[in-house]
Amino acid sequence: MIIHVVKKGETLWYISNLYQVSMDQIIQVNQLDNPDLLMIGQALIIPRMGRFHIVRPGETLWLISRRYGVHLNDLIQENGIINPNLIYPGQMLRIPRPTIETNGYLIRMGEAGGQIARNIGRHLTYLSIFSYQVQNNGDLTVLNDEPVLSAAFDTDTTPLITITNIAERGFSSELAHGILSNPEVQDKLLENILNIMREKGFRGLNIDFEYVLPEDRENYNQFLRKAADRMHANGYLISTALAPKVSATQEGVLYEAHDYPVHGQLADFVVLMTYEWGWSGGPPLAIAPINSVRQVLDYAVTAIPPSKILMGIPLYGRDWKLPYVRGTSIAETITLTEANRRAARYGAQIFYNDLYQSPYYYYVDENGARHEVWFEDARSYQAKYDTVKEYGLRGVSYWQIGAPAPQNWPVLDFNFRVRKP
């Protein structure tokens, strides 16, 4: 795989000839709506066969394995090497792909959700069905998720039931407090969860409690201990979603009750929600700037084993109308496919921020209003997957797979094998 950034005057015909790859292949892998209309700065995936490395003077197999984030033994086995100490400059080595786990949150239910799960399932280890909302008496809302579960089983994907403290106006601190401060309600909630899991075939629980009051931190930890014991006793996995903290003492209602060491000890894995820096009510910014993501990881790996961490990756972008006015402006959340369509529609030049490792552009709409758009492309995905290798993480988690993100999946496939149960 090669990532080509379109330059002024380049056409798809020119690019296909440059790399000796057919135009149809480039169109298909990038899902180009209008192959005749390429934007300056647009990233294109150029599919190539295999992953190879040409040995350079002074290189060892260990150095090469470190560079690509693969185990030394896998590199030796992949190339049938008898004497690992004997490689020579100019030798071509096939690079095996490391294996990771992936999780995808899905918010669409019914037949439409089932089709999404069927289309994306081969790229996923886990499918987190979002969400079963807890009630203050320990009951759960009902979802029409049977078509989604059927698709998960057909694609050998492990379905997880995701529970949340979402009420009418979003995540509710008060609802979480009512659950976490009442052991009897907790027991009823866990029994209801287990009944649904047995009935529908779920294989694990994902807990996404957000905006938990700081004073409920230990209550949340105690609930997790109880939930982990119940899940493991019945042969189920348990995982949690964590706010992106950069220190153990980070202040704020989003962060303080999320005790990283306790989650890392009790859960089979955790999802770090490393996105939403560019949130809808905030100023224009990359959704998941890699420098900020790395700050979270720098702390996370000191509190949680890297082998338990799934790094969050956003599959969406945002469009801000300028000028941004704090407290008034609300960005439009758009799919990555729509971000590319708008760039083409308005003839925008796409730029790339090297610090954030994220693409962005400006355009003027039909009414003369100026806009700023941040999104993801093959380059930003590659930067995130390089980060997964560097930190030795368990894998990644996507929010959310219902949003079309055609460039993500070939970049994922180029970098990793996805573990299946």
Burial class (CB in 10 A: 0-12, 13-18, 19+), 234: exposed
H-run or E-run covering 94:
strand 92-94
Distances (CA, A) of 12 to 41, 338, 398, 420: 14, 20, 30, 36
- Clarify whether 210 is annotated catalytic: yes
- The answer to whether the CB of 293 falls within 8 A of the CB of 311 is yes
- How many angstroms separate the CA atoms of 355 and 335, rounded? 23
- How many angstroms separate the CA atoms of 163 and 140, rounded? 8
- How many angstroms separate the CA atoms of 290 and 196, rounded? 38
Omega before 400 within 30 of 0, i.e. cis: yes
Name the amino acid, one letter, at 98: P
- How many angstroms separate the CA atoms of 153 and 201, rounded? 9
- How many angstroms separate the CA atoms of 238 and 250, rounded? 25
- How many angstroms separate the CA atoms of 313 and 323, rounded? 28
Torsion sign (Cα): 207, 208, 214, 215: negative
- Out of 210, 256, 276, 372, the active site residue is 210
Name the amino acid, one letter, at 327: G
- CA-based nearest residue to 142, from 153, 151, 127, 131: 131
Distances (CA, A) of 207 to 1, 122, 290, 420: 36, 24, 25, 22
- The answer to whether the CB of 304 falls within 8 A of the CB of 264 is yes
Q: Active-site residue numbers?
A: 210
